[in-house]
Amino acid sequence: MVVSENRAFLRLFSLYLFIQFSVTAANFFEPFNVTYDHRALIIDGKRRMLISAGIHYPRATPQMWPDLIAKSKEGGADVVESYTFWNGHEPVRGQYNFEGMYDLVKFVKLVGDSGLYFLLRIGPYVCAEWNFGGFPVWLRDVPGIEFRTDNEPFKREMQRFVTKIVDLLREEQLFSWQGGPIILLQIENEYGNMESSYGQKGKDYVKWAANMALGLGAGVPWVMCKQTDAPGDIIDTCNSYYCDGYKPNSPNKPTIWTENWDGWYTSWGETLPHRPVEDLAFAVARFFQRGGSLMNYYMYFGGTNFGRTSGGPFYITSYDYDAPIDEYGLLSEPKWGHLKDLHAAIKLCEHALVAADSPQYMKLGPKQEAHVYWDNTQTNGLNTTLSESQSTCSAFLANIDEHKAATVTFRGKSYSLPPWSVSILPDCRNTAFNTAKVGAQTSMKLVEDANAPSPKISAPELIMTKNEVSSISDTWMSVNEPIGIWSVNNFTFQGVLEHLNVTKDTSDYLWHINRIYVSDEDIAFWEENQVSPTLVIDSIRDVLRVFINGQLIGSISGHWVKVVQPLQFQQGYSDLILLSQTVGLQNYGAFLEKDGAGIRGQIKLTGFKNGDIDLSEASWTYQVGLMGEFQKIFTIEENEKAGWTELKLDATPSTFTWYKAYFDTPDGTEPVALDLGSMGKGQAWVNSQHIGRYWNLVAPKDGCPETCDYRGAYNSNKCRTNCGKPTQTWYHVPRSWLQESNNLLVIFEETGGNPFDISVKLRVPRILCAQVSESHYQPLQQWLHPDVIDGKVSINDMRPEVHLQCKDGHIISSIEFASYGTPHGSCQNFSEGNCHSPNSVSVVSKACEGRNSCFIEVSNSGFGGDPCRGVLKTLAVQARCVSSSTIGVSQL
């Protein structure tokens, strides 16, 4: 009786489970398994070659996500990758945040919706130029904790968070076997770089982390990056600029590249990095050429370090990264387009790449080589002879010579290979793509002034600022931030406390106040000996500001640097105030929990008559943060609480001041930025949203080459730009944070600046250029033309083409330059050469104007005959894009 009741219950229960599953299944895909062999990930039983696009969801707004994902897909990505950000998801221990920019589930679902897969790198240590490498700052306070080693408290916390994430994703049915997009997970991050610092405990920790991850029942494979001792089933993967020589630690594991650094991050006061796309494409092609199977761009979209999320010390608010999609979500061309072509070429080879267990290697010259992938499966399966057009092999021909082009012979045919390049031959005969031949369009984004707001004050006062036409507002209010103590929450302590122990990173700022007595004899002593008293501190980070009686007298910044600051005192008591500031917490290195911030070592005053005064053990009064910060005067709700007064146009720039103004949103859909180039250092908020830190530090004058040579191994110092200019002056304000009018902008300024010169800018992809010669290859999509597939037409009968496309709702309004012949120069600097087809402009205008995109064949026939026989001809075009609504209006 009991038994049969049990059975009935079980039957009912399984029916219930079945219904539950079928009702709640995410259904992005038919559920599928992910495994792997030595060659590739095996997705639903098939090996795959995969291109992955790194996008960190909290570096964009949820409103931007769909477009970023769509642009990744259009660019040829199969996978989207992100880390998780523990300190964003668990800001207070046990209190989770999965809302807004931290809505991980929504992000993964959007990726699933678009038909792409997901690679989630949980970490939970992530590095990523993210504050504290992703660790919540409260983690430092867990008793007995040591990060990233065989330490019980750390392991307990780490396991709790990783479990939380995996459980959440499983409940939401987001793993592949549930029909979700997640195919791969990562535990830890580049621990191999740190392992030796932790001795045996480091080794034990790796094993523990691997077992812990595998024990969570996520049901998809796990990777560890830069972890040559990744245990058991965990795949060790490569992070670098190049990963084509990489071999995982077991012959049963596939070669995976988790971070292809397609650019680099930058710091305040540095130039901007740039990785040329010819080299990036070379690196990717070499990876797949030599047996790689999954490559992730770090980053495909870098985005913005909003709020105080940027790591450090000293990483800027922009995380543009020189990625294929820029900080604002616009395509960075020709990077995006050239990689799109590359991905299409790799896809044309995928059947052969996955069919072969390993490539056939052929040496073609001293620095030239081919790798050939044979696909015998088709002949075996059908047992018939394949027609010419049906590819049975794909090949990659590389010229790794950094200087010289080479002509090689491959299977009886001659190929010319530019230096440092790879040609991809999907059919082992015809070149579909060469990494050094960029046919994709260039897009020049202009930063344009938004519509000037209507003047709110009388005309004469406008004369004060030279940029008044574009300035954000003519009316500014200001209020001073108190220097030193501002609340009853101050406290006094004997000795110098470590910065983070006090602030818990709730603010960048920590005030230290001391009262110094100066006697008549001291003053006389300084005068007689022509010396001044000096503040000497062994070591500080990141910024220290020194005030005497409320006056800022010195600022020092650096990463654990010595302070030697001359002081001037009056006779009697003076307040010596030290403001210690963080500019992004350390995100890389061993023993992060011990790193700390602020003041370290001895702190003393030298030069006094009776000798040095040691302040290290003196009684200091501490105050965390700014009054305005804690009163939240940057929010719509609380800003009225401050005693704002109107700022006079002739006011002298003042330090430690809050400013506010209201501004209207510029029309249109183009991304919006604030130009804070007139300010010093501080933070800015728009409609209560923290858009980030700003700092007007200028980059060194030297170190930017006139031309960037793509050839040879890249490093982040190559091809730098922006020498002698402030590292960052434009700060992204996502459109979704703006309302039509009366947006509240609040700025906290530390060093003095002119808010009247702050302006709103629009980032507009305005100019398109392309330059394609007769020696370029046919457009990639022609390979999929039915006539080419059927063998009716040979790909060789097709001509190269220029393809222009205005993105983001823009259309081509005019052709500013076109020359078929031998044009000179580059985008925005083209000129006609000796050979020029007179109808160039009319042909291109006819094909393109008024359209969102157009194709123009690069051939004599398209331009009414050969303008110069026997000469290699090029078509160079420059076009202007305008928003389609503008055209609509102007044509009416």
Task: Check if the beta carbon of residue 378 is closer than 8 Å to that of residue 385.
Answer: no
Contacts of 834 (CB under 8 A, 6+ apart): 821, 822, 868
Which DSSP letter does residue 610 get? T
Peptide bond connecting 542 to the previous residue in cis, omega within 30 degrees of 0: yes
The residue among 69, 28, 810, 15 whose CA lies nearest residue 443 is 810
* Residue 368, strand partner residues: 365, 399
Written as one letter, the residue type at 615 is L
SS in 3 state form for 156-174? HHHHHHHHHHHHHHHHCCC
First-to-last alpha carbon distance for the chain, in angstroms, is 84
Q: Which residues bind ligand GAL (CB under 6 A)?
A: 126-129, 189-190, 239, 259, 265
Written as one letter, the residue type at 130 is W
The residue among 317, 329, 134, 108 whose CA lies nearest residue 220 is 108
d(CA 216, CA 223) in angstroms, rounded, equals: 14
Contacts of 832 (CB under 8 A, 6+ apart): 819, 821, 823, 824
Which DSSP letter does residue 607 get? -
Residue nearest to ligand GAL (CB): 127
SS in 3 state form for 197-218? HHHHHHHHHHHHHHHHHHCCCC
- How would DSSP label each residue in 281-294? HHHHHHHHHTT--E
* Cα-Cα-Cα-Cα dihedral sign, residues 352, 356, 362, 367: positive
Helix (H, G, I), strand (E, B) or coil at 92: strand
Written as one letter, the residue type at 66 is P
Q: CA distances (Å), 398 to each of 206, 773, 775, in order?
A: 37, 21, 18
d(CA 682, CA 480) in angstroms, rounded, equals: 14
Instruction: Name the minimum Å distance from CB 620 to ligand GAL.
Output: 35
Q: For residues 41 and 126, which CB has a smaller minimum distance to ligand GAL in the complex?
A: 126
Q: For residues 205 and 659, which CB has a smaller minimum distance to ligand GAL in the complex?
A: 205
Strands (DSSP E) along 153-208, which ranges?
A: 182-187
Q: For residues 684 and 719, which CB has a smaller minimum distance to ligand GAL in the complex?
A: 719
Q: How many CB atoms lie within 10 A of CB 360?
A: 12
Q: What's the token pair of residue 192?
A: 């191999």
Q: What's the token pair of residue 133?
A: 């490498």
Written as one letter, the residue type at 745 is L
What's the longest Cα–Cα distance across the chain? Answer: 108
Helix (H, G, I), strand (E, B) or coil at 25: coil
Q: What's the token pair of residue 709?
A: 């040579």
Q: For residues 189 and 822, which CB has a smaller minimum distance to ligand GAL in the complex?
A: 189
> Is the backbone of residue 584 left (phi > 0), alpha (psi -120 to 50) or beta?
left
Q: For residues 716 and 842, which CB has a smaller minimum distance to ligand GAL in the complex?
A: 716
Contacts of 850 (CB under 8 A, 6+ apart): 811, 812, 813, 887
d(CA 877, CA 817) in angstroms, rounded, equals: 5
Q: Which residues are catalytic?
A: 190, 259
φ, ψ for residue 342, nearest 5 deg = -60, -45
Which DSSP letter does residue 501 get? H
Instruction: Name the minimum Å distance from CB 239 to ligand GAL.
Output: 5
Q: Do strands 182-187 and 222-225 pair parallel, antiparallel, or not at all (unpaired)?
A: parallel
* Residue 810, strand partner residues: 883
Element containing residue 316 per DSSP (H, E): none
d(CA 621, CA 624) in angstroms, rounded, equals: 10
Q: CA distances (Å), 652 to each of 140, 649, 655, 758, in order?
A: 43, 9, 10, 16
The residue among 574, 7, 87, 83 whose CA lies nearest residue 303 is 83
Instruction: Name the minimum Å distance from CB 271 to ligand GAL.
Output: 16
Burial state string for 182-195 with b = 16 or more CB within 10 A and e = fewer than 16 = bbbbbbbbbbbbbb
